[in-house]
Amino acid sequence: MGRPYRLLFDQVLSKQDPEEAHHAAFRAIRTAVPALARVPAVGSPVEALGLTFPNRLGLAAGFDKNAVGIDALGGLGFGHVEIGTVTGQAQPGNPRPRLFRLVSDRAVVNRMGFNNDGAEAVARRLAARSTHLGGRVAGREGRATGVSRPGPVLGVNIGKTKVVPEDDQAAVEADYGTSTRLLAPYADYLVVNVSSPNTPGLRSLQAVERLGPLLEHVRRTADAATDRRVPLLVKIAPDLADEDVLAVADLALEIGLDGIIATNTTISREGLRSHPDQIAEAGAGGLSGRPLAARALDVLRTLRARVGDEMTLVGVGGITTVAEARERIAAGADLVQGYTAFIYEGPLWPRRIAKALG
């Protein structure tokens, strides 16, 4: 289905409004939940973060912002699904249009602005899912004894509410704390997102003097919210200078962080094939897809060389082919994630990649 889907995308889907096309496709996926739930897992299990993942491939945050299609997405072949980014308060995000395709580059530009229903609403949704699945959701209960619980591993990605002043550290920590308290009980792992370019001032939180206290606050809040230890990761930008990447790695080691996700979208527009007018029309925002691959790979290699073998690293950014996924694993990724390739390659892409990775 790879080539037929690409033809369909290039000739039909690419002409639709990107955000409307996303919502339509996601509705179709969710409608297929009963059938997808019966699809057997693909790939080989892998141990990371103290959890057993059905395979190495996950869906990056941004696709299912509100936890409405976790198990359907797992049925497509993703071994883990990272929901969000979820903020402490509900917010509409930036004005439309805010999602753009650069088809010649197999890339997407988004300036969504963390549009989501808020931590309280998402927590209610996750609680209902837990009840529906018999309460065996958070923590991967039963994996150690060989009793598999339903669904993919669930990551919860949390970010700053836009109205919270980025220069008020106490307010920032309280905001992330709200999301952590409400969502940690349902998460298999938590991700602190300080690297989206679409919330003003957010990336300033990547500075280690601010990031350290924030991560420690989230850690304490998560520990108080649940009686199990929820693995905690941070997601960083590809636009950090190498010395700043190393500083984050050192901080992660110092405070005992469980992992790092490398990387988020980029604000760079260097080396694009798309027409300059099309790039200008897309405007500001985070660029994802193939143009991100080289820098994301470099950041991953830099991190692995610094943190050694113990910390979990998740490689994301520009992965489309099996060879690219394998290259990311060879460079030090324990797990890989995709998003933009899922849009361009279609619904059979996750199973194809996961199966090939073994």
Torsion angle defined by CA atoms of residues 77, 78, 79 and 83, in that order, rounded to the nearest 10 degrees = -150
> Is 289 known as a binding-site position?
yes
> Is 250 known as a binding-site position?
no
DSSP-based three-state secondary structure for 51: strand
> Is 311 known as a binding-site position?
no
Structure tokens at 124: 């209610």
CB 263 within 8 A of CB 223: no
> Is 265 known as a binding-site position?
yes
> Is 221 known as a binding-site position?
no
| Of the candidates 79, 16, 40, 1, the residue with the CA atom closest to the CA atom of residue 350 | 79
- Residues with pLDDT less than 50, the chain: 141-149
Which CATH number, 3.30.70.1150, 3.20.20.70, 3.30.930.10, 3.40.30.10, labels domain 2-357? 3.20.20.70
Position 2 scores a pLDDT of 60
d(CA 54, CA 151): 9
The count of residues in the chain is 358
In DSSP terms, 110 is beta-bridged to 99, 286
> Is 160 known as a binding-site position?
no
> Is 61 known as a binding-site position?
yes
> Is 203 known as a binding-site position?
no
Position 141 scores a pLDDT of 47
> Is 295 known as a binding-site position?
no
Position 140 scores a pLDDT of 52
> How many C-beta atoms surround the C-beta of residue 168 within 10 A?
11
Alpha helix segments (H runs only) across 152-288: 169-183, 208-225, 242-255, 276-282
Structure tokens at 156: 């919860």
- Which residues are identified as catalytic? 196
> Is 134 known as a binding-site position?
no
Position 47 scores a pLDDT of 97
Position 15 scores a pLDDT of 77
> Is 66 known as a binding-site position?
no
CB 339 within 8 A of CB 59: yes
> How many C-beta atoms surround the C-beta of residue 115 within 10 A?
18
The continuous run of DSSP H or E covering 117 comes out as none
